[in-house]
Each structure stands twice: as C-alpha cells, then as structure tokens.
Amino acid sequence: MAPALYALYMATSRKKSTASQQSASAHCPHPQGVLIPIGGAEKQGVDNKEHTAPDDMASEPVLHRFVKELTLGGSVLVIPTASEEAEEAGQEYVDIFKNLGVSQVNVLNIQSREQANSEESLRLLEEAAGIMFTGGDQLRLTALLGGTKLQRRIKERYTYERFVVAGTSASAAAMSTPMIYQGRNDAGMLKDEIHITTGLEFLHDVAIDTHFVARGRIVRMAQIVATNPACIGLGLEENTGVVITEGRELEVIGEGLVVIVDGLSCSSTNIHEIEPGEPFTIRDLKVHLLSHGERYTLPIIEQMHV
C-alpha cells in the first residue's frame, strides 16, 4: 500500500475506532447505584451487646454504612435465599436494621424460581431503596435467581437508579462474574481445584472472595486470575467491605484488609499447559493491600457488545 493511502487508512481507522468507543460508552452507562460486597464477620453487635453469630453475618459498623447510603427514609429488603436457615437469618437482619434506625424492613425469602418471577416479589423490590443479601451458599442464590424477572429488575434499578445492593459472605461472592462456588480454604495450588460459574453480574471481570485473610484464600484467587488475567481478584476480609460507585470506584470500609489481585500485567502463566492436579505458575502478579478509607479504581473495561 502506498504511504499516502496507508496514512489515510490509518486516520480513517482511528476515527472509526473512536466513534465505536464513544458509541459503546453510550450504551454502557456507569451504574447509578451503589454496590456493597461484605466479607462476612465473626461477631455481631446488637443493642450494644456482643454475641456470637454465624460467620456469614455482616458487622454492624459496615451495615451502618449501608444504611447511610440509602436514600432518606428508604426501606430495606432482606433476601435470605442463600441461607439454609433463611427465616432466622432474615429476622436477624430485620432486628439489626431497625436497631440502626430503618423504619421499614421487609423480608423476601425466595425459595423457588417461580417465586422470583412473581408480581409480589417485584412489588416488594420496587418499594425498597436497597437490598441486603444474607450469607449462605452462593450457588443456591444464583440457581434460584439467575435469569429471573427479579434478577433483571435488580440489575435495572442498580444501573439506572441510586439503588443500594449489599451482600455478605457467599452473597458477596455471587455479586460478580466470574463467581467462585467451590473450593477448600487450603485449595488453589493445583489446577482445577477451584470452580467458577456466572454470578449475579453486578460486576464484570471481577472475582470476589470473602473471609479472605482468615481462611488463606489468596492462592485460589491467583489461580482464577491465571485462567484469565483480564479478571481482577477482590478479596474481602471479615468485618470488612467495599463501597463501589460508578461500577468501579471502590472505598474500603470496616476493620480488616481488602486484597486486590491484578494480573493484567502478568508476564506469563502455565495454567493452560499443565494437567489437572498439577501446581500452576503465574509471574508478575500485582497485589494491593488496602485498609479502611483507602480508595481504588478497578481497572475493568466497559462491556462492549459490537
């Protein structure tokens, strides 16, 4: 190709690329809502007294921030679907939120996909300024909610309204895509020890893991990042969470650490070459340890469907 024609081709290509990016950005709005994944907790304060609680409960200081993010006078909808003791978990959060000054708290205990598609469930969702997913089993949550009218409406409200979505422990892990759903605390060194599937899709290209430091889960997160370094690992310690605005601006809240595992600039990995059951390699991971009040912009790419 002649130099003049090549220069014209490159200039035209750049214009088309810029136009495509602008068009994609217009169709990929930053979420107007607030996302608060929480790493679980060991103790829960109620009425200024400490008592032992399940390790998937969110701590009161973190929940106080959730309440603060609600629109003035907004009600809370608790969804305890992930829990094996859903009624008990739902009532515990009702008591906690009322103790924190929320006047209206409802519980939506989804136990079937039919219920997740019902008009009553959608009505309760429309009345809420924010929702709280309890801990439990993330696969139960996605199996019952994935692709339902309720899930789609939550995503719409999170995208286009100042709607607050919070979840603790397993429900925090379910917020993102990909979602970790199986793997021992000491697993992750060997290929295929960790299993992932599609989560509730509030965050794309981010894998969330909870109880992260206490249960030594950084190696299993590293394996997930090795399988696709475009995925950012977000590890949440107990009594700790993050407030995410605009789909990527992150603020750390709570008592512990948030661990960011970034493989975008990794120089090599052998995860695609080794056999299942063999230890994997990944070089030049970038890891950030962030404490209360620290801010971070997730280096994720807007979803473009062109």
Which pLDDT tens digit goes with each residue over 94-111?
999 999 999 999 999 999
* Mean pLDDT calculated for residue range 67-74: 89
Q: 52: pLDDT confidence band, cut at 50, 70 and 90?
A: very low
Residue 128 has pLDDT above 90, yes or no: yes
pLDDT of residue 41: 83
Within a domain: 22: no
Of residues 169, 171, 193, 237, which has the active-site annotation? 169
Within a domain: 59: yes
- Structural domain boundaries, residue 182: 30-297
Of residues 60, 92, 193, 211, which has the active-site annotation? 211
Within a domain: 14: no
d(CA 173, CA 187): 17
Q: Count CB atoms within 10 A of the CB of residue 21.
A: 13
- Range in 134-138, 143-147, 190-194, 299-303 with the lowest mean pLDDT: 299-303
Instruction: Reply yes or no on whether 195 is catalytic.
Output: no
pLDDT of residue 4: 56
Instruction: Reply yes or no on whether 238 is catalytic.
Output: yes
* Mean pLDDT calculated for residue range 163-176: 96
Within a domain: 302: no
Q: 7: pLDDT confidence band, cut at 50, 70 and 90?
A: low
Within a domain: 9: no
Total structural domains within the chain: 1
Within a domain: 66: yes
* Mean pLDDT calculated for residue range 107-135: 98
Residue 56 has pLDDT above 60, yes or no: yes
Which pLDDT tens digit goes with each residue over 190-229?
999 999 999 999 999 999 999 999 998 999 999 999 999 9
Share of the chain above pLDDT 90, in %: 75
Instruction: Reply yes or no on whether 112 is catalytic.
Output: no
Q: Which residue has the higher pLDDT, 28 or 263?
A: 263
The strands making up 295-297's β-sheet, listed across from edge to edge, are: 105-107, 76-79, 130-133, 164-168, 34-38, 240-245, 249-254, 295-297
Q: Which of 255, 57, 84, 87 is nearest to 166 (CA)?
A: 57
Within a domain: 306: no
pLDDT of residue 183: 67
Cis peptide bond upstream of 178, omega within 30? yes
Q: Which of 65, 69, 35, 40 is nearest to 256 (CA)?
A: 40
Residue 15 has pLDDT above 60, yes or no: no
Q: Which helix (H) or strand (E) holds 282?
A: strand 282-283
Average pLDDT over the chain, rounded to whole? 87
pTM for the full predicted model: 0.86
Residue 93 has pLDDT above 60, yes or no: yes
> Mutual orientation of helices 149-160 and 119-127 as an angle, nearest 10°?
20
- Range in 86-90, 139-143, 183-187, 215-219 with the lowest mean pLDDT: 183-187
d(CA 116, CA 131): 14
Q: 42: pLDDT confidence band, cut at 50, 70 and 90?
A: low
**CB 96, CB 44: distance < 8 Å:** yes
**Residues, the chain, total?**
306
Within a domain: 8: no
DSSP class of residue 294 equals -
- CATH code of 238's domain: 3.40.50.880
pLDDT of residue 178: 93
